[in-house]
Copies of this chain bind each other. A is one copy, B any other.
């Protein structure tokens, strides 16, 4: 009956990567492999690298980042990404979206504190002061 996945089974929320990628590229010009490591250090447990590379190419196709091949140095060729002016604009917009997420999460933990311990205030959607089915699950 219970779902087989351990709750948030490593799957990221939708579109979560995009603002982080833009922000990292606002700060540093890096190639994909280093972006991935940077994201790892910022709390993304295991970034799926095909997802990351595809997202980078999409951002480039949209004009939000540009890339240059860096063939010098050791190891295989690296595609180094830089943010564009349009990308910085997009980052500004995304920051407001992420700020909205932050507010929603704060609201989550407010209600969470109420639900676990404190008495609920009469501020429900319809002020359900008479809960109908609170007892049938004991």
The answer on a CB contact under 8 Å between B108 and A105 is no
The chain B residue sitting closest to A35, CB to CB, is: B125
A131 within 8 A of B: yes
CB contacts (< 8 Å) of A95 on chain B: these are 108-109, 112
Which residue of B38, B62, B101 is within 8 Å of A3 (Cβ)? B62
Q: In the complex the two chains form, is B132's CB within 8 Å of A94's CB?
A: no
A2 and B133 in contact (CB under 8 A), knowing A27-B120, A34-B125? Answer: no
Do A80 and B43 touch (CB < 8 A)? no
- How far in angstroms is the closest Cβ of chain B from A95? 6
Closest residue to A106 on the B side, CB-wise?
B102
Query: Would you call B102 and A134 a contact (CB within 8 A)?
Result: no
Question: Quick check: A27 and B108 within 8 Å, CB to CB?
Answer: no
Q: Quick check: B28 and A111 within 8 Å, CB to CB?
A: no
A108 CB to nearest B CB, Å: 6
Q: Which residues of A contact B (CB under 8 A)?
A: 1-3, 6-8, 11-16, 19-20, 23-24, 26-30, 34-35, 37-38, 41-44, 62-64, 66, 68, 70, 80, 82-86, 90, 93-105, 107-109, 111-112, 114-116, 120, 124-126, 128, 131-134, 136-137
